[in-house]
C-alpha cells in the first residue's frame, strides 16, 4: 500500500474532487465549443455556396460521396432496411458523425492543443474533397468549404483559448504549463467564454437562416415547372376498353406520378431550368449536336405508353410502374449527329454525373420507341423523375436506359466506356426479365372464405404477355383473365376468381410471353442483371 492511500482526508482532496467536476464541465463546454465551430463551418459554407450559386453544401457532398463509394451489399442493405428513407437516414448519419467529430475536436483542443483545430481542419478538408469530386462542380466550388473551414478553425481556437483561461482559473492542472495564476477572476473568464460562444452560435444560425432565405427567393425550379406549358402531342395513346380491370387493391394500369417508384443516386433532386438546359450529342458522330429545350420540343411530341422496371425489383416487388410519356424518338436525334461505324453504345449522362450504357441499336431501331421524354402522364416530368428531360427505352432496365436530368448522349463503344453501375457489380447490358406479381390479396390482410379476386400485373416489354397462370397450393396452373393490353411495352393486369376455403393457402403466379416463354421458377438475385423466380404468397382465409 502506498502512503497516499492512508493520507487523511484533506482540503486538497476535497479540491481535487471539485477539480474533477470542473474538468468534466470544461470538457462539456469544450464539446459545445466544437459543435459551435462546426456550426460556423456549415453556415459559412452554405452562405458562400448560395452566393456563388454552387450546388453542393458539405453535408450533401459528403453524403453523395458515400453513396458513390459504399459497396453494393451495403447499399442493398440500406435500401431494403430503410426503403425510400435510405437518403434521409444517410444524411442524418453523416450529420451525427460530424457532430460527434466536432465535439471531440473541442475536447481535444482543450486537452491537447492544437489537435482539436487539426481535427476540425481535417473534417473540413474531407468535406472539401467530397465537394470537389462531385460531378458538375463549378470551378469556384472549393471556395465555400475552404473559407468555412478556416473560419471554423479560428473560432474553435479562440473559444477554447477563453475556455482554458476560465478552467485554469478554477483548476490550474487542467490547463497548459503556462497557465495563468489561479487567482485570476474566474467569473470574468467564464462570462467571456459564454458570451463569445453564444454570439458565435447566434451569428452562425443567422447566417445559415439568411442563406436559406436567399436561396428560397431564387426562382424555384418547382415554380418554373408549374408554369411550363408543353405543346400537345401530335399523337396520343388510345387506352383500349378493358385496359383496367378496376379491382380494389390492384395497381391501376397507369401509375399516377405520385405513386410511381423512384430510384436514383441523387441525395438532392437536381434543379435544372429548361431555359438553361442543353443536350449535347457527341462522341463517335459525324457532327457534334447541341439542342436547347425549345429546339427539342419544337421537333414535335408524341405520346408513348411504356412500363419502366428497376433491376433492383425483387420478384413480387414494386419497383415497376407504367406511365404515358410525351417525347421525341432518340433515333431522330442520333440521326442528326450521325453515329459512326464501329460504335455500339450510347452513354447517357445526367447533370449530376450519373451515366447509363445503352446499346446503340436499341436507340436506332425503328421498331422500338426509345424516347427522350419531357412529360409523364400529361404533365412536365416531376422533378424527381428527371425534369426537364429523361430517356425511356422499352425493354431495358432503368439503370441502363432511363437516365433522368439528361444532358448528354455520347456515342461510343462498350469497350471504351462504362456507366455508373458497371464497376459496381451490375451488367453493362441489361434487358428486362419478364415477370409477374400478385397485388391482392396480401399476406398481411386475411380474406374471408368465399369468392376472392386474385389479381396483379405482368410485364414482358417489347414482347408482350400471352397469359398469366396461377397455382393454388401447388395445384394445376389455371389461366387468369387479362386486361386488354395497351401495347407490348406496357404491363397487363390479370385476375382470377378463387373459391377460398378457410385455412392457409399458397398462391403462385407466373407469366407466359407471346414468344411462348414461361416464367422460370429458378431464382436469380437482382445483381448482376435482374431477379428471376416465382412469387409465392401465403394467404390466410378465415371462416365467413
Site residues (CB under 6 A) for ligand MTE, limited to 306-335: 308, 310
Nearer to ligand MTE, 21 or 80 (CB): 80
Is the preceding peptide bond at 488 cis, omega within 30 degrees of 0?
no
- In terms of residues, how long is the chain? 544
Element of type H or E holding 281: strand 278-283
Given candidates 262, 299, 331, 424, which one binds ligand MTE under the rule CB under 6 A? 262
Interface pattern 361-390 for ligand MTE (x via CB under 6 A): ------------------------x-----
Nine-digit cell at 97?
Answer: 458523425
Provide, rounded to whole angstroms, the least separation between the CB of residue 402 and ligand MTE.
4
The residue nearest ligand MTE at its CB is 398
Strand partners, 282: 410
Going by C-beta distance under 8 Å and a sequence separation of 6 or more, which residues neighbour residue 283? Answer: 343, 347, 409, 410, 411, 412
Contact residues toward Mo ion (CB under 5 A) are 263, 310-311, 398-399
The listed partner (Mo ion, ligand MTE, none) that binds 118, CB under 5 to 8 Å by sort, is none
Whole-angstrom distance, CA of residue 270 vs CA of residue 266:
7
Provide, rounded to whole angstroms, the least separation between the CB of residue 348 and ligand MTE.
8
| CA angle 368–370–372, rounded 5-degree value | 160
Say if residues 147 and 44 touch (Cβ distance below 8 Å): yes
Provide, rounded to whole angstroms, the least separation between the CB of residue 401 and ligand MTE.
8
Given candidates 350, 412, 508, 537, which one binds ligand MTE under the rule CB under 6 A? 350
For residue 143, what is the DSSP state? H
Say if residues 464 and 514 touch (Cβ distance below 8 Å): yes
Nearer to ligand MTE, 264 or 489 (CB): 264
The listed partner (Mo ion, ligand MTE, none) that binds 424, CB under 5 to 8 Å by sort, is none
| CA angle 170–175–176, rounded 5-degree value | 145
How many chain residues bind ligand MTE (CB under 6 A)? 19
Give how far Cα 242 sits from Cα of 88, 345, 439, 441, Å.
41, 39, 18, 21
What would the 3-class secondary structure string for 369-381 be?
A: CCEEEEEECCEEC
Whole-angstrom distance, CA of residue 542 vs CA of residue 544:
6
Provide, rounded to whole angstroms, the least separation between the CB of residue 463 and Mo ion.
20
Nearer to Mo ion, 75 or 162 (CB): 75
- Contact flag: residue 352 with ligand MTE (CB under 6 A): yes
Given candidates 67, 70, 99, 263, which one binds ligand MTE under the rule CB under 6 A? 263
The listed partner (Mo ion, ligand MTE, none) that binds 508, CB under 5 to 8 Å by sort, is none
The residue nearest Mo ion at its CB is 310
Within 13 Å of residue 230, how many CA atoms lie on the same side as its CB? 30
Nearer to ligand MTE, 262 or 536 (CB): 262
Chain position carrying cell 436567399: 214
Instruction: Find the radius of gyration of the CA atoms of the chain.
Output: 31
Nearer to ligand MTE, 148 or 362 (CB): 362
For residue 233, what is the DSSP state? P
Provide, rounded to whole angstroms, the least separation between the CB of residue 113 and ligand MTE.
44
The listed partner (ligand MTE, Mo ion, none) that binds 498, CB under 5 to 8 Å by sort, is none
Provide, rounded to whole angstroms, the least separation between the CB of residue 306 and ligand MTE.
12
Nine-digit cell at 411?
Answer: 456515342
- Contact flag: residue 403 with ligand MTE (CB under 6 A): yes
Based on DSSP, count helices (H) and strands (E) in the chain, helices before strands: 12, 19
Nearer to ligand MTE, 23 or 407 (CB): 407
- Contact flag: residue 402 with ligand MTE (CB under 6 A): yes
Nearer to ligand MTE, 400 or 507 (CB): 400
- Contact flag: residue 399 with ligand MTE (CB under 6 A): yes
Provide, rounded to whole angstroms, the least separation between the CB of residue 193 and Mo ion.
52
- Contact flag: residue 134 with ligand MTE (CB under 6 A): no
Given candidates 63, 398, 530, 533, which one binds ligand MTE under the rule CB under 6 A? 398
Nearer to Mo ion, 164 or 437 (CB): 437
Site residues (CB under 6 A) for ligand MTE, limited to 165-194: none
Nearer to ligand MTE, 197 or 309 (CB): 309
Whole-angstrom distance, CA of residue 147 vs CA of residue 144:
5
The listed partner (ligand MTE, Mo ion, none) that binds 106, CB under 5 to 8 Å by sort, is none
Nearer to Mo ion, 266 or 343 (CB): 266
The listed partner (Mo ion, ligand MTE, none) that binds 405, CB under 5 to 8 Å by sort, is ligand MTE
Going by C-beta distance under 8 Å and a sequence separation of 6 or more, which residues neighbour residue 172? Answer: 179, 181, 182
The sign one gets for the Cα dihedral 145, 151, 156, 159 is: negative
The residue among 35, 15, 30, 14 whose CA lies nearest residue 175 is 30
Nearer to Mo ion, 34 or 394 (CB): 394
Given candidates 166, 193, 261, 325, which one binds ligand MTE under the rule CB under 6 A? 261
- Contact flag: residue 56 with ligand MTE (CB under 6 A): no
Alpha carbon 260 to chain centroid, angstroms: 15
Q: Torsion angle of alpha carbons 372, 377, 380, 384, nearest 10°?
A: -80
Whole-angstrom distance, CA of residue 312 vs CA of residue 394:
17
Nearer to ligand MTE, 111 or 385 (CB): 385
Site residues (CB under 6 A) for ligand MTE, limited to 265-294: 265-266
The residue among 307, 301, 302, 303 whose CA lies nearest residue 323 is 307
Window of 184-192, 349-357, 361-369, 437-445 that interacts with ligand MTE by CB under 6 A: 349-357
Could you list the residues that contact ligand MTE (CB under 6 A)?
Answer: 260-266, 308, 310, 350, 352, 354, 385, 398-399, 402-405
Amino acid at each position: 500500500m502506498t502512503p497516499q492511500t492512508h493520507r487523511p482526508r484533506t482540503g486538497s482532496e476535497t479540491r481535487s474532487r471539485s477539480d474533477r467536476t470542473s474538468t468534466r464541465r470544461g470538457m462539456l463546454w469544450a464539446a459545445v465549443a466544437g459543435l459551435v465551430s462546426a456550426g460556423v463551418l456549415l453556415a459559412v459554407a452554405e452562405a458562400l455556396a448560395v452566393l456563388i450559386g454552387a450546388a453542393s453544401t458539405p453535408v450533401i457532398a459528403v453524403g453523395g460521396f458515400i453513396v458513390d463509394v459504399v459497396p453494393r451489399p451495403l447499399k442493398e442493405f440500406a435500401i431494403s432496411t430503410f426503403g425510400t428513407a435510405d437518403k434521409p437516414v444517410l444524411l442524418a448519419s453523416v450529420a451525427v458523425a460530424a457532430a460527434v467529430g466536432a465535439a471531440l475536436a473541442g475536447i481535444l483542443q482543450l486537452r491537447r492543443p492544437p489537435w482539436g483545430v487539426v481535427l476540425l481542419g481535417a473534417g473540413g478538408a474531407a468535406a472539401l474533397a467530397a465537394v470537389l469530386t462531385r460531378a458538375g462542380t463549378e470551378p469556384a466550388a472549393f471556395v465555400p468549404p475552404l473559407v468555412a473551414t478556416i473560419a471554423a478553425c479560428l473560432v474553435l481556437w479562440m473559444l477554447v483559448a477563453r475556455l482554458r483561461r476560465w478552467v485554469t482559473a478554477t483548476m490550474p492542472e487542467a490547463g497548459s504549463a503556462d497557465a495563468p495564476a489561479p487567482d485570476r477572476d474566474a467569473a470574468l473568464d467564464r462570462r467571456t467564454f459564454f458570451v463569445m460562444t453564444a454570439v458565435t452560435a447566434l451569428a452562425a444560425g443567422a447566417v445559415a437562416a439568411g442563406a436559406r432565405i436567399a436561396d428560397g427567393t431564387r426562382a424555384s425550379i418547382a415554380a418554373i415547372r408549374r408554369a411550363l406549358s408543353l405543346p400537345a402531342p401530335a399523337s396520343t395513346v388510345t387506352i383500349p376498353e378493358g385496359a383496367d380491370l378496376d379491382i380494389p387493391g390492384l395497381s391501376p394500369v397507369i401509375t399516377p406520378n405520385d405513386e410511381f417508384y423512384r430510384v436514383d443516386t441523387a441525395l438532392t433532386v437536381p434543379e435544372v431550368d429548361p431555359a438553361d438546359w442543353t443536350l449535347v450529342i457527341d462522341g463517335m458522330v459525324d457532327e457534334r449536336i447541341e439542342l436547347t429545350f425549345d429546339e427539342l420540343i419544337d421537333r414535335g411530341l408524341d405520346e408513348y405508353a411504356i412500363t419502366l422496371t428497376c433491376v433492383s425489383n425483387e420478384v413480387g416487388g414494386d419497383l415497376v410502374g407504367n406511365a404515358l410519356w410525351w417525347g421525341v424518338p432518340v433515333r431522330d436525334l442520333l440521326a442528326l449527329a450521325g453515329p459512326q461505324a464501329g460504335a455500339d453504345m450510347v452513354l447517357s449522362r445526367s447533370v449530376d454525373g450519373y451515366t447509363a450504357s445503352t446499346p446503340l441499336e436499341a436507340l436506332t431501331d425503328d421498331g422500338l420507341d426509345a424516347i427522350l421524354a419531357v412529360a409523364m402522364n400529361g404533365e412536365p416530368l416531376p422533378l424527381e423523375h428527371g425534369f426537364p428531360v429523361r430517356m425511356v427505352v422499352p425493354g431495358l432496365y432503368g439503370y441502363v436506359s432511363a437516365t433522368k436530368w439528361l444532358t448528354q448522349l455520347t456515342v461510343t463503344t462498350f469497350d471504351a466506356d462504362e456507366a455508373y453501375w458497371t464497376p459496381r457489380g451490375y451488367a453493362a447490358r441489361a434487358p428486362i426479365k419478364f415477370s409477374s406479381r400478385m397485388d391482392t390479396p396480401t399476406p398481411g390482410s386475411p380474406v374471408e372464405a368465399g369468392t376472392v379476386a386474385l389479381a396483379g400485373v405482368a410485364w414482358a416489354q417489347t414482347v408482350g404477355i400471352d397469359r398469366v397462370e396461377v397455382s393454388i397450393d401447388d395445384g394445376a396452373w389455371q389461366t387468369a383473365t387479362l386486361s386488354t393490353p395497351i401495347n407490348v411495352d406496357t404491363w397487363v393486369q390479370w385476375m382470377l376468381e378463387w373459391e377460398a376455403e378457410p385455412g392457409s393457402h399458397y398462391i403462385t403466379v407466373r407469366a407466359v410471353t407471346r414468344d411462348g416463354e414461361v416464367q422460370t421458377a429458378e431464382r436469380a438475385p437482382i445483381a448482376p442483371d435482374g431477379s428471376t423466380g416465382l412469387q409465392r404468397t401465403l394467404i390466410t382465409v378465415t371462416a365467413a
